[in-house]
Amino acid sequence: MNIEYKLADVTESFVSLFEANRNILLAENNEHLNSIRREAVTSLAKLKIPGKKSENYKYTAIGDLLFEEMNHVFSPKKIEFNIEDIFSCDIPEIDTQAILVLNGFFLNQGEEITKLENGVIIGSLRAAMKSYPDLVYKHFAQYSDYKNDPIAALNTAFAQDGVFLYVPKNVKHEKSIQIIHLLLSEEDQMVQHRNLFILEEGAEANVVICDHSLSIQKFITNSVTEVFADKNSNFNITRVQNEHDKSVQITNSFIQQEQDSTVTSNTISLHGGVIRNNIKVNLNGENCENNSLGLFLADKEQHIDNSIYINHLKPNCTSNQLYKGILDENARGAFAGRIHVWPDAQKTMAYQKNNNILLSDDAKMNSKPQLEIYADDVKCSHGATVGQLDEEALFYMRSRGINERESRLLLMYAFAHEVISEIKLPALRERIDELVEKRLRGELSRCNNCKMNCR
Amino acid sequence: MLKINNLKVNINDKQILKGINLEVKAGEVHAIMGPNGSGKSTLASALAGREYVSVTDGSIEYLGKDLLDMNPEVRALEGIFLGFQYPVEIPGVSMVNFMRTAINEQRKYKNLEALSAAEFLKLMHEKKSVVGIDSNLTKRSVNEGFSGGEKKKNEIFQMALLEPRLAILDETDSGLDIDALRIVANGVNLLKSPETASIIITHYQRLLDYIVPDFVHVLYKGRIVKSGGKELALELEEKGYEWITEEITAE
Ligand SMILES: Nc1ncnc2c1ncn2[C@@H]1O[C@H](COP(=O)(O)OP(=O)(O)OP(=O)(O)O)[C@@H](O)[C@H]1O
Ligand SMILES: [Mg+2]
Question: Using one digit for the tens of pLDDT, what is the confidence trace for A317-364?
Answer: 999 999 999 999 999 999 999 999 999 999 999 999 999 999 999 999
For residues A43 and B137, give the distance between their C-alpha atoms in angstroms, rounded to a whole number. 59
Q: CATH topology for B2-250? A: Rossmann fold (3.40.50)
Q: Are B78 and B49 in contact (CB under 8 A)?
A: no
Burial (Cβ within 10 Å: 0-12, 13-18, ≥19) of residue A52: middle
For residues A45 and A17, give the distance between their C-alpha atoms in angstroms, rounded to a whole number. 12
For residues B35 and B242, give the distance between their C-alpha atoms in angstroms, rounded to a whole number. 10
Q: Is residue A210 part of a domain?
A: yes
Residue of B nearest to A390 (CA): B90
> Residue A395: its chain B contacts at CB < 8 A?
50-51, 72
Smallest Cα–Cα separation from A294: which of A368, A207, A356? A356
B33, B38, B199: residue to mutate for ligand 1 pocket, most atoms within 8 A of CB: B38
Mean pLDDT, residues A372-400 taken together: 96
Q: Is residue A452 part of a domain?
A: no
Alpha-carbon B57 to chain mean position:
23
pTM summary value: 0.88
Out of B73, B75, B99, the one facing A404 most closely (by C-beta) is B73
Query: Which ligand ends up closest to the CA of B219?
Result: 1
Q: Are A305 and A273 in contact (CB under 8 A)?
A: no
Query: Which ligand ends up closest to the CA of B33?
Result: 1
ipTM of the complex: 0.96
For residues B102 and B106, give the distance between their C-alpha atoms in angstroms, rounded to a whole number. 6
Cβ <8 Å between A390 and B88: yes
Cβ <8 Å between B90 and A414: yes
Question: pLDDT, tens digit, for every residue of A236-247?
Answer: 999 999 999 999
What is the end-to-end Cα distance of chain A in Å, rounded? 35
Out of A396, A401, A404, the one facing B90 most closely (by C-beta) is A396
Q: What is the pLDDT of residue A223?
A: 97
Shortest Cα–Cα distance, B174 to chain A (Å): 19
pLDDT above 50 (res A447): no
pLDDT above 50 (res A448): no
Mean pLDDT, residues A77-105 taken together: 68
Shortest Cα–Cα distance, A435 to chain B (Å): 18
How many contacts (CB atoms, under 8 Å) link A and B? 76
Instruction: Give me the number of domains chain A comprises.
Output: 1
The three-state DSSP-derived secondary structure of A33-101 is HHHHHHHHHHHHHHHCCCCCCCCCCCCCCHHHHHHCCCEECCCCCCCCCCHHHHCCCCCCCCCEEEEEE
pLDDT grade for A405, boundaries at 50, 70 and 90: very high
User: Mutating which of B78, B86, B88 best tests the A interface, going by the most A Cβ atoms within 10 A?
Assistant: B88
> Residue A407: its chain B contacts at CB < 8 A?
73
Cβ <8 Å between A399 and B72: yes
Residue B170 CA to ligand 2 center (angstroms) comes to 7
Cβ <8 Å between B102 and A401: yes
Per DSSP, A391 falls in state H
Q: Is residue A453 part of a domain?
A: no
What does the mean pLDDT of chain B come to?
92
Residues in a beta bridge with B176: none
- A433 vs B: CB within 8 A: no
Q: Is residue A108 part of a domain?
A: yes
For residues A197 and A166, give the distance between their C-alpha atoms in angstroms, rounded to a whole number. 6
Mean pLDDT, residues B108-114 taken together: 96
The three-state DSSP-derived secondary structure of chain B is CEEEEEEEEEECCEEEEEEEEEEECCCCEEEEECCCCCCHHHHHHHHHCCCCEEEEEEEEEECCEEHHHCCHHHHHHCCEEEECCCCCCEEEEEHHHHHHHHHHHHHHHCCCCCCCHHHHHHHHHHHHHHHCCCHHHHHCEECCCCCHHHHHHHHHHHHHHHCCCEEEEECCCCCCCHHHHHHHHHHHHHHCCCCCEEEEECCCHHHHHHCCCCEEEEEECCEEEEEECHHHHHHHHHHCCHHHHHHHHHC
Helices A150-158 and A3-20: crossing angle in degrees, nearest 10, is: 20
Q: Is residue A238 part of a domain?
A: yes
Range of the domain at A11: 3-441
Q: Do β-strands A121-124 and A163-167 pair in parallel, antiparallel, or remain unpaired?
A: antiparallel
What does the mean pLDDT of chain A come to?
90
SS3 A133: helix
Residue B89 CA to ligand 1 center (angstroms) comes to 20
Q: Which residue has the higher pLDDT, A451 or A3?
A: A3
What ligand 1 atom has the least distance to the C-alpha of B38? 21
pLDDT grade for B243, boundaries at 50, 70 and 90: confident
Mean pLDDT, residues A60-70 taken together: 87
Domain boundaries, chain B: 2-250
pLDDT grade for A53, boundaries at 50, 70 and 90: confident
User: Mutating which of A324, A390, A399, A412 best tests the B interface, going by the most B Cβ atoms within 10 A?
Assistant: A399
User: Mutating which of B45, B51, B53, B73 best tests the A interface, going by the most A Cβ atoms within 10 A?
Assistant: B73
- A405 vs B: CB within 8 A: no
Percentage, residues of chain A above pLDDT 70: 92
Residues touching ligand 1 (Cβ under 6 Å) are: B 11-12, 16, 34, 36-42, 52, 85
pLDDT above 80 (res A285): yes
> Residue B97: its chain A contacts at CB < 8 A?
410
Nearest protein Cα to ligand 1, atom 13: B37
Question: pLDDT, tens digit, for every residue of B152-202?
Answer: 999 999 999 999 999 999 999 988 888 888 888 988 998 899 999 999 999
